[in-house]
Amino acid sequence: MTENMWLRWPSREALSRAGVSGARRMLSQAGRILGLGMVLWTIFTHDGLPAWGKVATAGGVLLCGAGAWAFFRTTLHNRLLPSIALLVGLLGLAGVAGVAGLRVPAMVLWCACALVAMERLPLAAAVPVAGVGLGAYAVIDNGAWLTTSVTAGSVALVGYVLRLDAEARGSALRLLAQERAAREAEAESAALAERARIAREIHDVLAHSLSAQLVHLEAARLLIEGGAERTTILERVVAARGMAREGLAETRQALSALRGEMSPLEEFLGELVAAADGADVTVTGERRALPAEAAQAVRRVAQEALTNVRKHVPGAKVHIRLEYAEHQVTLDVRDSGGSPGELSGSGAGYGLLGMRERAALLGGSLEAGPGEEGFVVTLKVPA
């Protein structure tokens, strides 16, 4: 045995009654009641004790009960010296009973002290205390030495087995508590991740919709400042209203996506390019259902890229290519370039930054920059 094992207290779970079944508690109580009854019967049937002696002895039994209760409390709080002092006091009371001729109560108390010492004290203190108690028992016992030795060894072994059983119960309780804590932490982490996902979806939808509306409203402002015709200004306002309606539809679509009710990705891209002049889409590879996060990332990047084209190079042709590979999906959006629009300087450029963050969370990447003709946005996500 290592030094740590000799000096270590049993765990608090092992010293308490936590996790003890009701049947086992009833059995333990029955054993205590049986032992107490045997001791009291021996006292009151002893012919050599006067009446006052029997009363005093019964008081000693009550004192032993109080001492045992105090011992269980002090060991529960790992107070070594008070625990040893209480056991020494109980051993002394057993010695007094033995001198008074009450051999059976004395032997029962000595064996009980040895048993609980092995069960509840650090082994460095339990072994000497148990040795004193069992040694006193062996001295007063009139049986054969072999029987006495076997009985004393059995008491020490039973105490140690009870100690191991209590430690196993304590370990099981600690593991159960850790498992519950891990499950609670996992559930909390999943809830936080879901909240973050919902926040990203709502942010992306609103950012795209409001950005598109800003394009048309800013154009209307510039037209008003430039003294443009009412019809031209009205076209921009109507377009902004249309973008607001589209934003509302996209918000509903995002909520449906959060509930797992998304339309196929190819269908979504087809509707997206149908609403944009001069845009087309090509799908290559073996089509398959994508994880919700990956599908949403593709949708948002396609929307953001088309919005940027409308803002910076209105009228440019846009080609969208969706490629299904074995372990990833790639979205490539490129425009034909052209003269910068009147709103090319508006916006803070946070749209693509948000898309990069979304791709990084999925373990993918997003690259955006000038191409051979115009601007190219390429998204790659594992799928």
> 283: which 2 tokens?
């799908």
pLDDT-above-70 percentage for the chain? 81
Rounded to two decimals, the pTM is 0.51
Query: Radius of gyration of the chain from Cα atoms?
Result: 42
pLDDT in tens, 136-170: 988 888 777 888 888 889 989 998 998 988 888 88
What sign for the dihedral angle of Cα 21, 23, 26, 30?
negative
Please state, in angstroms and rounded to a whole number, the distance separating the CA atoms of residues 62 and 52: 15
The model's confidence at residue 86, banded by pLDDT at 50, 70 and 90, is: very high
pLDDT in tens, 292-308: 778 888 888 888 888 78
How wide is the angle at C-alpha 61 spanned by C-alphas 134 and 43, nearest 5°? 90
Mean pLDDT, residues 360-364: 86
Contact 307, 318 (CB under 8 A): no
Mean pLDDT, residues 96-105: 81
Domain covering 275-383: architecture = 2-Layer Sandwich (3.30)
Strand-pair category, 375-382 with 365-370:
antiparallel
Which pLDDT score, from 0 to 100, does residue 224 have?
85
3-class secondary structure, 232: helix
pLDDT in tens, 41-63: 766 666 666 666 667 777 777 88
Position 81 pLDDT exceeds 50? yes
Which pLDDT score, from 0 to 100, does residue 348 have?
43
pLDDT in tens, 321-352: 999 998 899 999 998 877 665 544 544 445 67
- Please indicate whether residue 264 or residue 112 has the higher confidence score (pLDDT): 112
Which pLDDT score, from 0 to 100, does residue 254 have?
63
Domain boundaries, the chain: 3-142, 275-383
Which pLDDT score, from 0 to 100, does residue 181 have?
86
3-class secondary structure, 374: coil
